[in-house]
Amino acid sequence: MGMETSIEPLVVSSFRGLNTRLSPISISPREATSLQNVNPTRETIDVRPGSTLFTTTQLIEGGVVKPVTGVFQAVLGNTVHRVMTGGSKIYSVTSGGVVADITGAVTITDDPNNLFQFAKAKDSGGNDIIVACNGVDAPIKWTGAGNAAALGGTPPGNFKHILWRGNRLWGTDGEFTYHSALLNAESWDPLFWVLKVSSSGIYTNEMTGIVEYGPNIALFKEDRIVLFAGENFTNGEAITVVSGDGNMSGYSLVEVSSRLHGNIIIFVNRSNEFKGFNATKNLIDISYPIDDALRTYVQSRAKYISAVNYGEYSQYYATVTQAGSTHNRIIIYDYFLDGFNAQPDVPESTMFTHTNIEANCLAIMDSSGKETLYSGTYDGWLLQHGGYDFDVVKAAQIDPAGAVRAANVVTITTLAPHGFEVGDEVIVLGVTPASFDGTFTITTVPNTDEFTYDQVDADDAGGDGIARIEAYIDAHWQSKKNSLGNAAIQKQINDFNIVTVANTSGQLKTTVYTESGNGVAINDIDSGEYYYGDDSFYGEAYYGGGGTTYNRAEFSLMDGVEILAGRYLTVRFENIDGFRFSIEEYIMGVSSLGYQAEMIV
């Protein structure tokens, strides 16, 4: 943005995030007012990784699908254990995704909004245990063997948020925070080991979160942030640091190491804004560039936002509800790129959105020695993210006797309503016999738990397996979408040069909007071929096989426009068919007047 300062082509060599705070001067050429399903690097944007099923069975109770309400991994002794909650059950999950009911005699209230928090702690025998709490039911423990059980020692409340810190278990219940005895999460003295934090919140007076922050503990309410210093409440000190603003969801509290702000705790407040706390009264406006968009999201769902620190990407991931009553977006804050080369008076956005991920909760767990993102879905599955070119958007468990083929028509019966529709392309796998497996188009949906597809084969019957629907990752990046205004100087644009990195074939659609019309070009990217650029200016470059390409995009003009011209340009890149692509930079060629810097706004 700004006045022309160069006669060279404008090269955008790094891309940033979403910015909905629009004005003629408030957005960098590297930022977007519309984007989805892309991840940034210092020099490129890439299509985000996809997801696939991790668990092998669906959470179903009484023929009803149960959303996942919590996921956790811990090393107990020398063994890695995973647990998952959903409906009225708690389950163990193996490294291969096999689910086993370990509920035993504990009580869990069935509600998709009763999200769980977990902590690794010590029991009365000094053994490692997993403690699980949801704020409604009594705290639960699991030793890694057998069934779960009630946490011993008569805990003083149905803790909603918990933390193992300083070899004590800390838990919140209402306006109170308690802690256990040293090295024993099953020993409590509610007379001495309790702290009350009072306030006058609008939506709730309850404690809304607890997290370790350096040598201290940060205690959150809707309208207050308190720092506690000390090993226990009898000899510690609590100081109110922030008044008038605070956290709505204890599941959103995550500490990150921002390059700009240092170690901060990120949280969501009652206005759906993401803030950063750095132990001072001055909160950091993390989501400022996209607050206009966030305020249109469902505010009442803020208290259920679940977040993680995805360290592999240096990003904070948070579930949000853009519309409806379930989370249907992921908001990302890139804390590595945050403010990099930013001018102090023009904050650059490093906020992104991902679609197709409808997660009730998120978790980071180990997979083959690598930090991996997992999401618990509303249809009772645990998804594993990374390394896939697609997302699993729906899946259903097939009844053990739920596959019947007669007269070249297959009828599949699922254990619970599947949510599929006529015309959906469904992948059927794991059926016995395997002749039912394959990819098919659904022809009818006789009932909520049945669907049919055509398959020419002998009559047969069987069952088991999973039916799922995959969707390609619909990614785009757009520079700006507000009014372009009137141009004082017209320039004709004859081509647009894109640099991509591709490891599979696909198509990339580029659209340029100017004051006088639109230009559109669709470029085929073939991983098995190469392309020579205009070596008089660009030199030789290649694509395919992990290389790069300078690929000239010639525009087809629309609406009878004969010359695509204009001083102010909006650029949009779209992934047409879901292939893996990366935009490294784009260069605008301008005819007639030679190469001149353009304003991309």
- pLDDT computed for residue 466 by the predictor: 98
CA dist., res. 144 & res. 303, Å (int) = 30
Instruction: Mention every residue, 6+ apart, whose C-beta is less than 8 A from residue 389.
Output: 50, 472, 473, 504, 578, 579, 580
Instruction: Mention every residue, 6+ apart, whose C-beta is less than 8 A from residue 447.
Output: none
Residue 422: C-alpha distances to residues 214, 448, 465, 577 (Å)? 54, 12, 20, 21
Task: Name the strand (E) or helix (H) holding 315.
Answer: strand 315-320
**Which residue in this structure is represented by tokens 């984007």?**
35
What SS3 class is residue 436?
A: helix
- pTM, two decimals, is 0.91
Q: What is the CA radius of gyration of the chain?
A: 27
Mean pLDDT within 109-115: 98
**How far does CA 131 lie from the centroid of its chain?**
25
Residue-wise DSSP of 214-278: TTEEEEEETTEEEEEESSSTTS-EEEEEEES---S-GGG-EEEEETTTEEEEEEE-TTS-EEEE-
What are the tens digits of pLDDT across the range 29-69?
678 889 999 998 767 788 999 999 999 999 999 999 999 99
DSSP 299: G
- pLDDT computed for residue 597 by the predictor: 43
pLDDT band at 227 (very low <50, low <70, confident <90, very high): very high
**Of 333, 485, 478, the residue nearest 25 (C-alpha):** 485
pLDDT over 60 (residue 338) = yes
- pLDDT computed for residue 21 by the predictor: 77
* Mean pLDDT lowest among 267-276, 376-385, 476-485: 476-485
What are the tens digits of pLDDT across the range 164-221?
999 999 999 999 999 999 999 999 998 889 999 988 888 899 999 999 999 999 999 9
What are the tens digits of pLDDT across the range 66-109?
999 999 999 999 999 999 999 999 999 999 999 999 999 999 99
Average pLDDT, the chain: 86
Task: Tell whether the torsion through CA atoms of 156, 162, 168 and 173 is positive or negative.
Answer: negative
- pLDDT computed for residue 523 by the predictor: 77
Q: Which of 258-267, 398-407, 473-482 has the highest mean pLDDT?
A: 398-407
CA dist., res. 310 & res. 298, Å (int) = 24
What are the tens digits of pLDDT across the range 1-26?
333 333 344 566 678 899 887 655 55
